[in-house]
Structure 1
Amino acid sequence: MVSYPDSQGAERSLAIRRPPSVTSHSSRASTARRHRPHRSHFGGASYQPQNEFPVFTHTGDVQILIANGRKEQTYLLHKLILAQCSGFFEAGLSEEWANAGEGTSQPSNSALARLPPGAPQRPEKQRWKYELDWGQDDDIPMLVQKKQKTQTSMFGGDALQSSQQPPPPRNKPPTPQAGFFRSMANFSSLHVPAHQNDPDEDTFRDYDNLFRVFYNYPPALDPINIANAYVECKSLLQLADMYDALEVIGPRVDHHLLRFQGRLWKQIAKYPPSYLKLGYMARSKAIFSEAMVHVVGQWPQGINQLRNQIPTPVLELIEDKVDELDELKAKIEVKLFRLTLTTSRGERVTPSNNWLEWMAVSLFRQWLAENTTPPPTPILKSPRNTDNAVSSPPSPPPFNTGRIFRLLGQPAGGPSSYLGHDECKRFLKLSPDHYNRDNLRRFERRVEEIKNKARDLVKPLMRNFLELDLREGGLPYLTCTRVEPEEFPWDE
């Protein structure tokens, strides 16, 4: 026996093990047998059914089958999870829906009579089944409930009863029997390679992503190509909208797209109406705000892509922001036209007290009027096509003054892109009596003074509320629109 001092100064003894008795040996052997992997009667290890996504063999009570004759995917999920994540399943799996027109389902008297005396009466176990109905060629595939009841047998097993037969697939080879799917449920998590040109592959992907998010798994979305990621996210959101699950799916889509960072902002700048609709469905404040700035700045350029495709509150928000921007531009335009110069005595320049400086003010106002007023409609005969029919003249592009205000707001000291040296020289040459080198220099200085005043006036329009880095290149429209926290249309 080996002894060690303990904290009290006493000694603790480590007893030497005695030889195992027959009883303890048999006990350990029994324990080892309990923990030893089960063997089948055929010499191999017996298969243990899984109880994890997508097939919860022991606890799942809602079977979902998606099959098109070439590929099938089976899910065995939980009523509680599906009802919490989707309004569609919350209604379809409710007791009111389950008992509609059928009354309360209880075990029959004959079934109870066959139970052994004194045996506990187990309550009936309810199971639900959904199958994807592909419909006709132009229909949107939709899950249809095929309610099935499972009653407890006298031997403790479950006898499955299906209330309906699955509908025939749309112009596809017949699918295997329902019993085959039940027997293969444990293998449904294995990847089944689909045909490369299977037109339904996107549907399988979207439903799998939908259920993955329900169970807090990340959706399988493209992490590299943002164009592919947009298409996959949009398709998933449309599916979530069908099943009233946008509140659950939206944050996952938002999180995935925001990981692209700078590439995302560039894509939004290229396709603002598309990302505005996606941002609204995903309830993404970042994406929605970014797209809104572009849409309002370019308005009405994207009106055809948004009209009748977005909810009324979103369209009303766009129109309100456009009105606010137009009102701000109108106020600043009035101030710009009132810009003037003063003489050394503090008087406004006029043709009588300083003709040269008054001409500088006139040149600026003329340039501003020409560039902030839509061009007149040309009076031309409509061209005729080869069929001698009068063709409608092409509609002019929308007139947007954002580019003009950006010119006015250029930083001081930068290259001037309006009313530069050449323009001032050509204008002054129109009055040969006043054209000389000294007058040209003084004229240019006074023009620069007016431009500096204009730069200060347009500063409210030069604010930028985009995440996009504009240092790589400016935009031809204004980006001073801001969506306030209380203005998001889904918070109402």
Structure 2
Amino acid sequence: MVSYPDSQGAERSLAIRRPPSVASHSSRASTVRRHRPHRSHFGGTSYQPQNEFPVFTHTGDVEIIISNGRKEQRYLLHKLILTQCSGFFEAGTSEEWANAGEGSSSQSQNPAALARLPSGGPQQKKRWRYELDWGKDDDEIPMLIQKKAESTLFGADMPPQPQPPPARNKPTVSSSGFLRSMANFSSLHIPAPETDPDDDTFRDYDNLFRVFYNYPPTLDPIQIANAYVECKSLLHLADMYDALQVIGPRVDHHLLRFQGRLWKQIAKYPPSYLKLGYLARSKAIFAEAMVHVVGQWPQGINQLRAQTPEPVIELIEDKVDEMDELKAKVEGKLFRLTLTTSRGERVTPSNNWLDWMAMSLFRQWLAENTTPPPVPILKSPRHPPSRSGDDRPQPPPPVFNTGRVFRLLGTGGSSYLGHDECKRFLRLSSEHYTRDNLKRFERSMDEIKNKAKDIVKPLMRNFLELDLGSQGGGLPYLTCTRIDPQDFPWDE
């Protein structure tokens, strides 16, 4: 928790002696004057300087201006808070930076000026000033640039910045036409307010400083797609200013409030949420997305290469290798699966031809579904050669993923090699096709399926928070990847 300075600018009331003429007035008049509220010379109540977020008039020492010429947002914050939350401000307000001549006042660099201050008098208060530089091109990322700021005396109230009067696009409605305007109000078409193209930048910086001061950021609490975009933008800004350790937990907390909807969104866009989870240092989001990415690999490789740190890619490849080794072991056991006779002997064509045929059909189905299809020798005639004589580039073949096959094996029953397939296969040998043989054949196939189901159990483990039952039959890839605490590629 970050504690924030309280206002120390308490005003002192001064006792003023009344002249004799005033003392001769009646007690009623003096009582009225005594309880009459104080008024300024310019009318209205007296100005009370603000000393709360985002402008700490009495205690703030870092001024930040976000302006694009159409609107402006001003912050007067504390160096202590900013340096604790951001490495950027820690470096920018350091003595090394000040000695380099950036953002330092003339008095702070001149010891003689400090020596001229009376002993026991108010100390000099160093101030810093930052302005947002939008860059010359649209491709440039806006960045805070430190400007020179003058020092002030501790305890001195800084005058408020004059605010421009609000723009009026239409003349003020007179009181005589007010009722007539209200009568026609229902028939008026009120256009939607125009949005500034830089509103997202204003929002991100405001959220950044709000989190620094332990205020909740203004992120969409209803639409998870909008919340993702806003959180991603805020995290990239925090990464620029070396503040991910402070911003990440806030983003993690906000997204986890979506619960089941979050897991469904991660299943739709696992590479995107993997990158977000890494930036936010969210173990839940990162692990959930990693299970999907490893199960679909290399489907998301183009979205992750050169966009994520190398330790993340190495973790993915390590988990993919672990899954491939596990699948190879399971495949070996499946191909060695066999039935036995009543005497405990292995089934062969000589001692039980029908059971041996059931094992042959299962192995053939397993080989076809766990082996990538052969590459065609002849080129596809769909794309004729171009005029230059070069063939047009062919689209890459679809990724071959055996996860669907192992899920069928783990489900068993009629999910594969059902009644029609068994019947069609047995009819290939007409002399052995009878109703009784078909029943015996299906019983043997069921026994093989039950043994196969036990073999693939290690691949059927699910380490997702997502409810697979809500996916209409499960996912077409394996979700048995486990992310252990030591696997997260960031320092605690």
Q: Is the 8 A contact 1:212 1:218 kept in 2?
A: yes
Q: Which residue of 1 aligns with 2:45?
A: 45
CA offset at residue 95 of structure 1? 1.8
Q: Which residue of 2 aligns with 1:460?
A: 458
1:392 aligns with 2:393: yes
SS in 1 for 2:411: coil
Q: Which residue of 2 aligns with 1:262?
A: 260
Q: Which residue of 2 aligns with 1:368?
A: 366
Change (3 A) 1:112 1:286: closer
Q: Is the 8 A contact 2:386 2:392 kept in 1?
A: no
CA offset at residue 97 of structure 1? 1.2
Match of 1:243 among 228, 241, 244: 241
SS in 1 for 2:38: coil
Change (3 A) 1:108 1:436: closer
Change (3 A) 1:445 1:84: same
Matches within 5 A, 1:397-412: 397-410=398-411
What does the per-residue CA deviation read over 1:90-111, in whole Å, with 9 as the maximum and x for residues that have no partner?
A: 0101122122247982777679
Q: Which residue of 1 aligns with 2:56?
A: 56
Match of 2:161 among 182, 193, 204: 182
Change (3 A) 1:110 1:488: closer
Q: Is the 8 A contact 1:107 1:151 kept in 2?
A: no
Q: Which residue of 2 aligns with 1:300?
A: 298
Q: Is the 8 A contact 1:122 1:152 kept in 2?
A: yes
Distance (whole Å) between structure 2 residues aligned to residue 262 and residue 390 of structure 1 = 48
Match of 2:270 among 269, 272, 290: 272
Q: What stretches of structure 2 of length at least 5 have no aligned partner?
A: 1-22, 167-191
CA offset at residue 197 of structure 1? 4.2
TM-score, reference length from structure 2: 0.82
- Alpha-carbon RMSD: 2.7
Change (3 A) 1:90 1:223: same
CA offset at residue 392 of structure 1? 2.4
Change (3 A) 1:152 1:423: closer
2:432 alignment partner AA: H
SS in 1 for 2:64: strand
Change (3 A) 1:453 1:157: closer
What does the per-residue CA deviation read over 1:399-421, in whole Å, with 9 as the maximum and x for residues that have no partner?
A: 0000000000006xx5x121111
1:66 alignment partner AA: I
Distance (whole Å) between structure 1 residues aligned to residue 357 and residue 232 of structure 2 = 57
SS in 2 for 1:249: helix
Q: Is the 8 A contact 1:125 1:149 kept in 2?
A: no
Distance (whole Å) between structure 1 residues aligned to residue 360 and residue 38 of structure 2 = 98
Change (3 A) 1:47 1:236: same
Q: Which residue of 1 aligns with 2:196?
A: 198
SS in 1 for 2:127: strand
Q: What stretches of structure 1 of length at least 5 have no aligned partner?
A: 1-21, 161-178, 188-193
Q: Which residue of 2 aligns with 1:252?
A: 250
SS in 2 for 1:183: coil
1:380 alignment partner AA: L
- Deviating above 4 A after TM superposition, structure 1's stretches of 4 or more consecutive aligned residues are 101-104, 106-113
Distance (whole Å) between structure 1 residues aligned to residue 436 and residue 366 of structure 2 = 26
Change (3 A) 1:55 1:110: closer
CA offset at residue 123 of structure 1? 2.3
Match of 1:330 among 328, 331, 339: 328
Distance (whole Å) between structure 2 residues aligned to residue 253 and residue 278 of structure 1 = 9
CA offset at residue 381 of structure 1? 2.5
What does the per-residue CA deviation read over 1:70-94, in whole Å, with 9 as the maximum and x for residues that have no partner?
A: 1110000000000000000001011
Change (3 A) 1:112 1:373: closer
1:475 alignment partner AA: L
Q: Which residue of 1 aligns with 2:467?
A: 469
1:384 alignment partner AA: P
Matches within 5 A, 1:141-180: 141-152=142-153
Distance (whole Å) between structure 1 residues aligned to residue 223 and residue 53 of structure 2 = 27
Distance (whole Å) between structure 2 residues aligned to residue 135 and residue 391 of structure 1 = 41
TM-score, reference length from structure 1: 0.82
Q: Which residue of 2 aligns with 1:213?
A: 211
Distance (whole Å) between structure 1 residues aligned to residue 156 and residue 365 of structure 2 = 89
Match of 1:225 among 198, 223, 226: 223
- Which deviates more, 385-394 or 260-269? 385-394
Distance (whole Å) between structure 1 residues aligned to residue 251 and residue 150 of structure 2 = 36
CA offset at residue 491 of structure 1? 2.6
1:90 alignment partner AA: E
Matches within 5 A, 1:310-459: 310-382=308-380, 383-385=383-385, 387=387, 389-410=390-411, 416-459=414-457
Change (3 A) 1:112 1:284: closer
SS in 2 for 1:182: coil
1:140 alignment partner AA: I
Change (3 A) 1:37 1:372: farther
1:149 alignment partner AA: E
1:45 alignment partner AA: T
CA offset at residue 347 of structure 1? 0.4
CA offset at residue 394 of structure 1? 2.3
Change (3 A) 1:271 1:43: same
CA offset at residue 228 of structure 1? 0.4
CA offset at residue 36 of structure 1? 7.6
Distance (whole Å) between structure 1 residues aligned to residue 310 and residue 73 of structure 2 = 38
CA offset at residue 341 of structure 1? 0.5
1:141 alignment partner AA: P
Distance (whole Å) between structure 2 residues aligned to residue 111 and residue 274 of structure 1 = 54
Q: Is the 8 A contact 1:106 1:124 kept in 2?
A: no
2:162 alignment partner AA: S
Change (3 A) 1:119 1:490: closer
Q: Is the 8 A contact 1:403 1:476 kept in 2?
A: yes
